[in-house]
Amino acid sequence: MGPIAAVRAKRLANFVSSVLTMASIFMPWIRYNIGPPISAIQTTDASFAPNASLAVSLVVAGGIISLLSRYGGLLTMAGVWLFVASPPEQFLFVASNVVITSSFEIGVWLAWAGATISLLGSSWTLPFGLLTTEVNRKKLGMILFPLGVVTAVFGTLIPLPVSIVLILTGLIVLGVSLILLLPRQRRTLAQILKSFGRGDKHDQSEIEEIG
């Protein structure tokens, strides 16, 4: 495999790992013997212990970062380990003689697979010269903008205090995307009006010459 093909394969691994990780949070993660399987998103409900929200937040952050760097897989692994080592306790009202057991579902293994594939990916998927041109800056901004929106919206769906971390992260990503989408050379209002004035005078002089 040539160097270019190797780079493409690693970037594909970053993309696949991010897709698997983000898809896993909507799939069943845990099943109690008294009810249906529960997805990672559902474990962020207030009826569960706060450690579930923290674990899922790490998985989401890892899934987003994996798109840009393989080290996002480490965050995903940390979230899965936290979820497995300390399964979310659900506050349930059941009879005292009922024993509640739980088992992990496919979502956990899918997130772990995504994290493992991420470690096989590229350390940095974006070329270092990406920000040198205005077109590339806008492309990166268009990628980061939806990621910031998804992160901030997801933060509003989970309880405090973990939600604050995700909301702030989403807002930071949104801010960076807007900076990239704006023109690199910023002009003041006076300079803009002055440039328009020059344009009008230039057009007027051309009209006078034609007349």
Range 14-21 average pLDDT: 91
Domain co-membership, 96 together with 133: no
**Quick check: 124 pLDDT over 90?**
no
Domain co-membership, 150 together with 115: no
What is the arrangement of strands in the sheet containing 102-104, beginning at the earlier edge strand?
37-39, 28-32, 102-104
Q: What is the pLDDT of residue 158?
A: 67
Domain co-membership, 15 together with 113: yes
Domain co-membership, 106 together with 174: no
User: For 53-102, what is each residue's pLDDT tens digit?
Assistant: 788 888 988 888 888 888 999 999 999 999 888 877 664 444 455 556 67
Domain co-membership, 118 together with 135: no
Backbone angles phi, psi at 30, to 5 degrees: -150, 150
**Quick check: 19 pLDDT over 70?**
yes
- Domain, as residue range, for 64: 1-125
For tokens 């910031």, what's the residue?
Answer: 148
Domain co-membership, 35 together with 121: yes
Domain co-membership, 150 together with 91: no
Domain co-membership, 97 together with 181: no
Q: How many CB atoms lie within 10 A of CB 195?
A: 11
Q: What's the total number of domains in the chain?
A: 2
Domain co-membership, 110 together with 202: no
Q: What percent of the chain has pLDDT over 90?
A: 15
Q: What is the pLDDT of residue 35?
A: 73
DSSP 99: P
Q: What percent of the chain has pLDDT over 70?
A: 68
**Quick check: 108 pLDDT over 90?**
yes
Range 188-204 average pLDDT: 49
Q: In angstroms, rounded to a whole number, what is the distance separating the alpha carbons of residues 164 and 170? A: 10
| Single residue among 74, 95, 125 that ends a domain in this structure | 125
